[in-house]
Amino acid sequence: MTGAGEQPPGEFPRAAYEFIFAALQHVVSRLPERRHISGRELVDGVCDLASWEFDFLAPTVLESLGLVRPEDLGRAVFEMVDLRLLSRREEDTPADFDLSLTFRQMIPPVRDHLSEIRDELTSKVIGNRG
């Protein structure tokens, strides 16, 4: 067990494991009943929670945690399984996270709100001139 501020064993920073727990809770809280979730469901949950919490910075934040690809998430998850912090089903494997994409590719870009406002104001100004 690690103390406050100590780096947990593994290749990822403490914040990465904490974010994975938060993403897991994020997914489970939206299910009609509590159950085991798949690797793909967790990947989608990480994308969703990161987008919600960090907006357009989501891919950058995940990269700062060492989570560049879903495969990185899979390695972190299986480290947590080895430490008995998470459970797995017999059929769960790290390959469940092999999606051949980066989180940057998976997380849709957030619309540039300033551009939307600028476009709206421009159309009003041009519309008032005519």
In a domain, 3, yes or no: no
Report the pLDDT averaged over residues 1-9. Answer: 52
Q: pLDDT confidence of 108, banded at 50, 70, 90?
A: confident
In a domain, 80, yes or no: yes
How many separate domains does the chain show? Answer: 1
In a domain, 8, yes or no: no
Domain interval for residue 101: 14-129
Is pLDDT of 115 > 60?
Answer: yes
In a domain, 72, yes or no: yes
Residue-by-residue DSSP string for the chain: ---TTPPPSSSS-HHHHHHHHHHHHHHHTTSSS-----HHHHHHHHHHHHHHHHGGGHHHHHHHTT--SHHHHHHHHHHHHHTTSS---TT--GGGG--S--HHHHSPPPP-HHHHHHHHHHHHHHHHH-
Distance CA 35, CA 37 (A): 6
In a domain, 6, yes or no: no
Is pLDDT of 99 > 60?
Answer: yes
Q: pLDDT confidence of 1, banded at 50, 70, 90?
A: very low
In a domain, 106, yes or no: yes
In a domain, 92, yes or no: yes
In a domain, 108, yes or no: yes
